[in-house]
Chain A
């Protein structure tokens, strides 16, 4: 099982290394969105730092949506995914590997990129820790929910329009607690509470959402 997972993950990373545009574009998009937000406000407005957690979180969500549609599609269209589902280890290792790959190449760079962007928005350095911790716990959740939605819509021609509508309502609690942790830290409170809630959401998602995604992919095959 673990070997199947590792092999599938290695394949994901190798494919990604050959299509650099796919995973370089979301961070670039993130950079531009946050910059435009700062440009839209008053120059050097101290209010900007107060809104920074929300901007950084929503920007990360939107950027991660960009390459979600491609998560299963290429393998689904050429039949590779169906073959992988027939493998003796079953489909679950493949689904976990795909979701992990999406996080390693999508969520993790975005979470790290959020740090310089936060400094750009004038977030005090004491808040950076809880912001990063929140994003590190929250972006995997985005890959999980997004992967489930991508699996639901993999056989559809206009999935790219539908995906945000399916993902964004479900991701609501993650944004609330994630940005909440950063806001608590900015107010000088303990950020541990929201972070624990975020971690428990992640555990729940890690256990259940790959199963739901597998069922959704199966549904798309027949």
Chain B
């Protein structure tokens, strides 16, 4: 198993594997997001209390989930990068940060747009909102730190350490609606067994969530591939890769 793990973590193998998988991820993401958007924005019935405004959950909830799970993934990659010093994991840390930051920003913006008609204010100083904002700052800190380093390997490891220290924030965001008396509504979906939402609303939401996950993975894979090419630009496999592409006539 370890040899398999090491082979997977070697840049050329991973690059080829990512090449093979990312079109599939893109197709899955497009299909699921397409169905989710039509099903959520057009076909699903309006909420009895919130009217059509509830439809923002089809963007807001997947974005918020991914902002958190993206951070956890980044921290997990950081552990691997720091302990085993695997180059690929360093690239993953650096690649997740901008994608996660955009999902966090999306969750915040859609939440604000929804908050104005529902709560009467774009922003309230509430535990979950504040913690999500701090999450955005953490992502931006990782991006800024990485850009400040000249040596990409030292930069990625520094980012990994920062991501690990910031991981305390994740449970705070996740449980904030249960720990504190918050204006933000409680979870709707996480109750296993019987969700408190009708199927016509639920299926598009699940489709959107998995579609966004696929998109997230696709975007991260693209970034990891670019990162690998830049970092390994002097190595033999990148030269061969270039020659192959030049021979095929698409450079």
Contact = CB atoms under 8 A, between A and B. Distances in A.
Contacts of A38: none
Contacts of B149: 156
A153 B138 CA distance: 15
Say which size band chain A's interface belongs to. 20 to 34
A47 B144 CA distance: 38
A158 interface: yes
Interface centre among B134, B138, B158 (most CB of A within 10 A): B158
B154 A165 contact: no
Interface residues of B, number: 20
A209 interface: yes
B162 interface: yes
Given A170-B165, A222-B154, A156 B137 contact: no
Contacts of A103: none
Interface string A158-174: 11001001101110110
Main secondary structure of the interface of A (DSSP, over half): helix
Interface in B106-159: 130, 134, 137-138, 140-141, 144-145, 148-149, 154, 157-158
Contacts of B145: 152-153, 162, 166
B130 A172 contact: yes
A122 interface: no
Contacts of B157: 219
Contacts of A156: 148-149
A109 interface: no
B158 A219 contact: yes
B161 interface: yes
A152 B166 contact: no
Contact of A165 (B144, B158, B165): B144
Nearest to B148: A156
A209 B165 CA distance: 8
B162 to A, nearest CB: 6
A219 B137 contact: no
Interface centre among A148, A153, A219, A220 (most CB of B within 10 A): A219
B66 to A, nearest CB: 19
B41 interface: no
22 contacts: A152-B161, A153-B148, A156-B148, A158-B148, A165-B137, A165-B140, A165-B144, A166-B141, A166-B144, A168-B137, A169-B134, A169-B137, A169-B138, A169-B141, A170-B138, A173-B172, A208-B165, A215-B161, A219-B158, A220-B154, A220-B158, A222-B154
